[in-house]
Structure 1
């Protein structure tokens, strides 16, 4: 192993690859094994078949019987365990049979076509008979390079509808990838692009899976590479705005995030970090450089008028526990205006101050770009790059090679090989295989309800090509050109709903174009809007342990964090129709609000899949396999959780995900059944997760009837920096008052507040909260809760409490009289507080609340309030009668 690593290191130096790569980094790099196991290969003359899995067969035809073993852009690891299969030859036809597929090829008949090659399914549903040329009409789509200037799925100016291309899965149960014309990787230390030797050869990959979509995605992940885990901080909140911020302004911005207690992990600095002299969007003033690009678009030299001392600024940012990324538009290459030009020109052998053209496929160019320009910036404190390629599509040196695809590969693998730190870039989709280089940047979408409504669907279909880490411009990037400047303002309601979708997206990042009126700082909005925005961000941070666990599951399984409903319910047509809904991990269904409110609520029609679901907004468990109607106020998000699930969460104190180590964990247990889950942890920012440096903690629970139990198993696994102990807080959502609580056999007392070694009943949220002392992560934790045999009826109570409180508050502002509100009105808005003060009186308090609600309209109607006030208040209370 040492000799092999040394050989690769020497090769890197000799080939002018990135300077002196550490051996540890090379060892951590994911495998690229082009040659399959010999036992999986069947070669007959001019054809070769490789059985990669029972559902995936590679099929090659070559006129000279020379076949490709090098990794391709798409398929990088063909060395898979050999599945069981059989071969036979009958009447000149080769038959290959796996557990799932039966292939027949007429030997000696030449190129694959409809007359000589067929594949039939066995016990798959739906069944299929495939041959080359068969149309795949039921493909479930993939993703697209960008949402630039798209309003919903229609592009401004062109009227073009979004083309999501083909995904890996189809309702027909099969998919074919023609890899015949993709480029290959060579065998150098920093693997580089090379052309295929045979232009007419066929290299096809057939996936046959029926409706077992998750297996198809898993097979693809095995041979095309897994979805790498981003560093943990990437799942926090990213602040981004296209604005010429100065050092001082960014310090003030960060200070405001702290002042308003809004979590933040990543600061994105757009292109004004570098000099943009001469840049103009107005055709009358815009200038082009030697390469036909806008002057000032490309740059690598800090703008010292904005950042007088970049190193000290970046050091300060890191002192605030923030990561940062800078925007790059590298198309114009290197000009003499750049501070690094002289050294770069010398390394490239260019004299006379000539501008040096950019070429992504030139290893010499890219190596010097990193060594002399970008790596020094990284040493100053830039954590990762925002690679915003928008220029010519293909490499000039290697025609047909997508610049977008190749730049993503080059930047990601350079960062991956530079150290054992987890690689991360932020870029546009370049095509199949780009899932190996996260995170995606979807571009400049138009600010509109149509754009918000389209993004859940756009993001779910991306999971069909394993592109599971889209980062959208939350809130939209730019206004519709047809909107007059006088009417260009942020719709606070639209922004809140977009932010709520962002909280349940792979990456949460706000962004906007350089317009003075596009200010998305939460503290600039009214109190109700600010509160809703902060709640969405806080919920994101609370959910981080669950989110991080789903990221690990995506790496292991190929099933992305955000996925369509038909993965789990492939035989139900409703799952395909519910384009605005998605699963966020295994246990949470999200149906984002994507239209404006009317009368203070947004009405949403939601298809609940089969099973039982906990309604997070209203409380209570509802039966699925039906469509329901719900309404949502501005601060409410349509979330449904599998009944009985346990969701791992952070305590409210966590405001930086890079510091989250799960030594403190909230386990929120929902009613309605039993579950088994695992909570994943690792070092957070190293590549050790790829080879065993991680741990899982298994959790089993059951909550139904008059009891609840939870068992936390000893932690399984190890990684550097792993905390020795864990402190758990167990929360029973929407519970009645417990009769008894026992932890590891010890009876816990009830307390008036959260206190270690006791339990507390939160009347405002109807939650039983059990605070357990820290214990060794190697020990088992067992919690047992019993409730009264005849508990209070709290079905939908939390929802009714919240709406009643809002109705009372509304009435106060519209009362219009000096006298007080009726006593029953005032008390109806305080049920949560009454329960907090006297939790043991819960049944009686609930009965009193219901009785008060019934009387309120009559009591207000008897007052001297205005008729319209009486009518509206009666309407608000009437709505609370229906669960």
Structure 2
């Protein structure tokens, strides 16, 4: 692909090749957009996830030698081979970040885009399976809608670099090197077309079709199925936090979730009545186990009116009174809603009459703004107006064709049958974007309806940009076994490294038993009566404490804490211990949530976020940082019981933990201090998930409370871990409403100077209605398990205070 000429324009470099056109467009000094087309001009379609007006007027230079054109901003250089148009990406010091093969790395292959035709003769088959209602249509014909391209972007990655991202895909792969990945939406697969490299750069692909990633015998490349041109962004960090910040600059900030969304969420498949929901909340309050949110799963509607967004009057006779009582109990309600409607319920009929349904005459067209508005109107009138607090947008793929049968189809077969099903109803160029637009409609319309209640949308799919719609992605209908628990850690880390901040899972897994279908693959037919499952559930909940959303859910067996024993038994007591820990850590967690919104921070962090200088961390897929302080090490193998309550003999209650280099680490439970750069065998009895705190950490810890809005006059404890200087920005606001966007919040900078044993509480910046003007801090200096800790209680009134120890 030889370069013929190039032209330096005001805000881009236009390159004419023997075959096609290229544009290099600096959006910032560190974000470079690259476009390539075989047409005579570039298309003018708008991106579905890149925010408008993000392109800045960035100065750039172009230098030329005999064989190379060099495009440069202050942070990035792109060296372009004149004979092949191969790109080599470098930082401002000339260090190679990555490169394309010398022969060139961009290929466009023409392909026909077929459009199905539906008419009055179209046959529609309505059905239900474990994944909900389904409607499949057989088109009467196909026509060629247009020509487009398969795109292929090739790289020569360094042997030593690690690659992360692309979303959550159920395989338990963290470092993507040497692997392949198929990016399409499906139960247990959530797509984000973002790669992040330990060499200090990211790649964001602006495509919504099926995408394939390969770094294997077939090559090293990103391939897209249907696009009008190649369009991607090269992002230079070099730190992961800077890459994420650039991603959110392009695709949108993540709004702040309400404080209650970080409390404990109790769910199961399913609570069936108004009385049952309220009784569960009351039981948590009676037992003094913290709880903030209870979830009403599917079939809140009447009979078989699947997807109807209203309450069954027999089981929920007074939903407004139900919501009032739940709120008086200081809890919230999340409700499951679906994009599919069939059986001629009122919502379905209204959508059909207005022509807002896709070809199967069941799923609403989320790509149509008027259809999204009607969907909200229905949800608002039937549910939100009664006081419902949050949405669970289930089945937002929304087309699957492989959740049947005894044998799980091969990966390539799954990819084919599922993408083919989606292409029957969605333009093949956009099959990955349904969840993005569905989330957009809910977020924008709820915000138009009220600013007093923050949007919360728990959804099963994801895409680039979805974070700006207050979406929390969960990993789908996983099965209860130890391998799944282990795999979920890497899956969540690869989701969050893309810039999507909020990810969670079903604590204890959705499927607990083992049945004929391939996906119903749990190891515990006796559910919570099985001591083996109780052990697995405890370990899963320990891990869940350190996820952005802390949520128990699943089928086959109850999930309330008292189903795992009674007070005084090890399982019950350990579950309560860790739920209480989550609530005590809320000042730390909610502050970090403030950073996510205000500073584009990432809460759940693969170790390369903070230890990119330590290659030993690159492939550690069962440990991660939760915020700046906590090294989380879930236990992912049984130590006490096998399935069937069979007691294990001789198992060692330890877990190997790698402590990253260049810092010291404290055992959270014992305060024992360790040097970094080593593997240790940490205590991991059932009551203990190994948890370490980085030296120099400042961790705000609140009092024991029963719900996030509980008011208490007890002091806020500040844990200060000696060994390094440290800082922490304490954040707080009203806990709900969007007043924080107008400045209704405060921050307090906390600083520790290690050599001087000096702690400074900075001026309180900002305020919000109802804020306490005076606070008590209980300062605790942690030095080592064998040393006495120094404590000091002070009263803080908003002005800078320095304490010497």
* TM, length-normalised to structure 1: 0.68
What secondary structure does 1:141 align onto?
A: strand
Q: Does the Cα contact within 8 Å between 2:622 and 2:633 map onto a contact in 1? A: yes
* Aligned-residue offset at 1:440: 0.8
What secondary structure does 1:546 align onto?
A: helix
Q: 1:669 to 1:478 in 2, by over 3 A?
A: same
2:669 paired with 1:617? yes
Which residue is equivalent to 2:282? 255
Which residue is equivalent to 1:772? 794
What secondary structure does 1:729 align onto?
A: strand
Query: Which structure has the highest strand share of the two?
Result: 2
Q: Supply the RMSD in Å over aligned alpha carbons.
A: 3.8
Moved more, 365-374 or 170-179: 170-179
Deviations 1:457-493 (A, max 9, x none): 1111112211221121011111243668865445221
Moved more, 360-369 or 534-543: 360-369
Which residue is equivalent to 2:802? 782
Which residue is equivalent to 1:391? 398
Point out the structure with max Rg over C-alpha. Answer: 1
2:508 paired with 1:508? no
Which residue is equivalent to 1:682? 733
Q: Does the Cα contact within 8 Å between 1:441 and 1:470 map onto a contact in 2? A: yes
2:565 paired with 1:525? yes
What secondary structure does 1:554 align onto?
A: helix
Instruction: Describe how 1:121-136 pairs up with structure 2 within 5 A.
Output: 121-123=91-93, 127-130=97-100, 132=105, 133-135=153-155
Q: Distance in 2 between matches of 1:569 and 1:126?
A: 20
* Aligned-residue offset at 1:221: 1.7
Which residue is equivalent to 1:698? 749
Q: Distance in 2 between matches of 1:245 and 1:439?
A: 24
Aligned length: 665
Q: Does the Cα contact within 8 Å between 2:168 and 2:495 map onto a contact in 1? A: no
* Aligned-residue offset at 1:581: 0.6
Deviations 1:539-594 (A, max 9, x none): 11111111112222233444410111112222322111221110111111111111
Q: Does the Cα contact within 8 Å between 1:72 and 1:182 map onto a contact in 2? A: no
Q: Distance in 2 between matches of 1:415 and 1:361?
A: 18
Q: Distance in 1 between matches of 2:188 and 2:363?
A: 34
Q: 1:307 aligns with which of 316, 340, 343?
A: 316
Which residue is equivalent to 1:41? 12
Q: Distance in 2 between matches of 1:449 and 1:116?
A: 45
Q: Distance in 2 between matches of 1:432 and 1:244?
A: 33
Moved more, 425-434 or 485-494: 485-494
Q: 1:401 aligns with which of 406, 430, 435?
A: 430
Structure 1, gaps ≥5 residues long: 1-37, 184-197, 278-295, 739-765, 786-883
Which residue is equivalent to 2:633? 591
Q: Does the Cα contact within 8 Å between 1:121 and 1:128 map onto a contact in 2? A: no
What secondary structure does 1:272 align onto?
A: coil
* TM, length-normalised to structure 2: 0.74
Of structures 1 and 2, the one scoring higher in RCO (CA 8 A, sep 6+) is 2
What secondary structure does 1:410 align onto?
A: helix
Q: 1:84 to 1:470 in 2, by over 3 A?
A: same
Moved more, 639-648 or 659-668: 659-668
Q: Distance in 2 between matches of 1:413 and 1:499?
A: 33
* Aligned-residue offset at 1:616: 1.3
2:524 paired with 1:475? no
Q: Distance in 1 between matches of 2:584 and 2:750?
A: 18
Q: Does the Cα contact within 8 Å between 2:193 and 2:204 map onto a contact in 1? A: no
* Aligned-residue offset at 1:380: 0.5
Deviations 1:56-105 (A, max 9, x none): 21123456775567651232145355455323466797532123322245
Which residue is equivalent to 1:436? 468
Query: Which structure has the highest helix share of the two?
Result: 1
Which residue is equivalent to 1:804? none
Instruction: Describe how 1:794-833 pairs up with structure 2 within 5 A.
Output: none
* Aligned-residue offset at 1:362: 3.0
Q: Does the Cα contact within 8 Å between 2:356 and 2:365 map onto a contact in 1? A: no
What secondary structure does 2:763 align onto?
A: coil
Which residue is equivalent to 1:632? 684
Which residue is equivalent to 2:539? 497
Q: 1:602 to 1:380 in 2, by over 3 A?
A: same
Structure 2, gaps ≥5 residues long: 1-8, 106-152, 174-178, 211-225, 400-421, 516-520, 641-649
Q: Distance in 2 between matches of 1:595 and 1:216?
A: 34
Q: 1:359 aligns with which of 347, 362, 365?
A: 365
Q: Distance in 1 between matches of 2:356 and 2:207?
A: 37
2:280 paired with 1:274? no
Instruction: Describe how 1:191-202 pairs up with structure 2 within 5 A.
Output: 200-202=228-230
Q: Does the Cα contact within 8 Å between 2:30 and 2:236 map onto a contact in 1? A: yes
Which residue is equivalent to 1:56? 31
* Aligned-residue offset at 1:532: 0.8
Which residue is equivalent to 1:8? none
Deviations 1:309-361 (A, max 9, x none): 1121111111112111111123125x4444x67776776799xxx98763222
* Aligned-residue offset at 1:535: 0.9
What secondary structure does 2:195 align onto?
A: coil
Q: 1:697 to 1:171 in 2, by over 3 A?
A: closer
2:737 paired with 1:717? no
Q: Does the Cα contact within 8 Å between 1:77 and 1:224 map onto a contact in 2? A: no
What secondary structure does 1:496 align onto?
A: helix
2:779 paired with 1:730? yes
Moved more, 308-317 or 222-231: 222-231
What secondary structure does 2:692 align onto?
A: strand
